[in-house]
Structures are given as C-alpha cells and as structure tokens.
Amino acid sequence: MGGPLNTQEKRAWNAFRSTFTLLHQRMDQQLKRDAGLSHLQYEILARLGAAPDRELRMAELACAVSNSKSGLTYQIGQLEQAGLVRRRACESDVRAVYAVLTDEGAELLARATPGHVALVRELLLDVLTPDQLSALADGLGEANRRMLAAGDCTGR
C-alpha cells in the first residue's frame, strides 16, 4: 500500500491526471462557448435537472458537485442572477436552503446537453473499447464509493 509508485501505478496515475485536466478544460471551453456556462455551472444545472422536482438542498448539491458550501453559494448566486436557478427556504428546517432549477435553467440545460455529450463521447467514451470502458467505470466507481464512504462530504 505504501511506498513510491511502481511503473504501472505511475502510468495509470499520470494518464488519469492529465486526461482529467484536459477533459475538464475542453468541456469548460465548449460549455462557455456554446451555453455561456462553466463546467461547474453545467454540473449544478444537470444535478438539479435530474433531481425530484428539479431541486436539491444546498448541502447535498455541494457534495454532489464536489464544491465547498461557500463556493456553491457563489455559483448559485451567479445562476440566480441569470434566472437559471432560484433558492427556496425549507419549511420544516429553517437552516436548510434548496436550489431549484427554473424553467429558463431547464431550457438552457436542454440546449447545452447535446454538445456536452458529443464532446464527452469524442474525447473519452468513443476512444475506449467496451472492455476499457467497463474497467474505467468499475475502477473509478469503486474509488468514488470508498471516498464517499470515508466521510461526510457535506461538512467541507
């Protein structure tokens, strides 16, 4: 477990790190160009769009998009000013605030998604064989599961 990375581990780590960075940069560029959104803002809208009633508690949303509560508050403020999201207070818990996707936000998400999906396919999914895709999903899925199980990400 400990010690320096061996050749195979270095190769895997470097490939993951550089691919993640390049993929994130390209997605951010495409989304800004085509929809006027950052990749993080798109992820926020996508998470809200997939949620029941198109809303999530801010703490749950921060965890889902791997952002701090303060960072998410800033992003929600930007999206709120653009009319894409609104906030609502929770009736049963005065400390809880929900982010809600507006109709305008849902429309922008629907327009942005095809180009985003096409880029993800072009840059990542279509270059992998079915076996590679399964191995990637299995391996990263397990790493994600373990990280989430190790602690409450909403306390960040």
Report the SS3 class of residue 127: helix
d(CA 99, CA 32): 22
* Length of the chain counted residue by residue: 156
Is the Cβ–Cβ distance between 34 and 7 less than 8 Å? no
**pLDDT band with cut points at 50, 70 and 90 for residue 93:** confident
Going through the chain in order, the beta strands assigned E by DSSP cover 55-57, 85-89, 97-101
Whether residue 156 has pLDDT greater than 60: no
Q: Which class for 27: exposed (0-12), middle (13-18), buried (19 or more C-beta within 10 A)?
A: buried
The domain segmentation of the chain, as residue ranges, is 22-155
pTM of the full structure: 0.86
d(CA 43, CA 112): 11
- What is the CB-side half-sphere exposure of residue 32 using CA atoms within 13 A? 9
Judged by average pLDDT, the poorest of 8-22, 53-67, 71-85 is 53-67
Is the Cβ–Cβ distance between 98 and 88 less than 8 Å? yes
Q: Which fold has domain 22-155?
A: Arc Repressor Mutant, subunit A (1.10.10)
d(CA 38, CA 40): 5
d(CA 151, CA 149): 6
In tens, the pLDDT along 27-73 reads: 999 999 999 999 999 999 999 999 999 999 998 898 888 777 788 88
- Mean predicted confidence (pLDDT) in 67-81: 88
- What is the CB-side half-sphere exposure of residue 153 using CA atoms within 13 A? 17
Residue 154 confidence (pLDDT): 44
Q: Which class for 72: exposed (0-12), middle (13-18), buried (19 or more C-beta within 10 A)?
A: buried
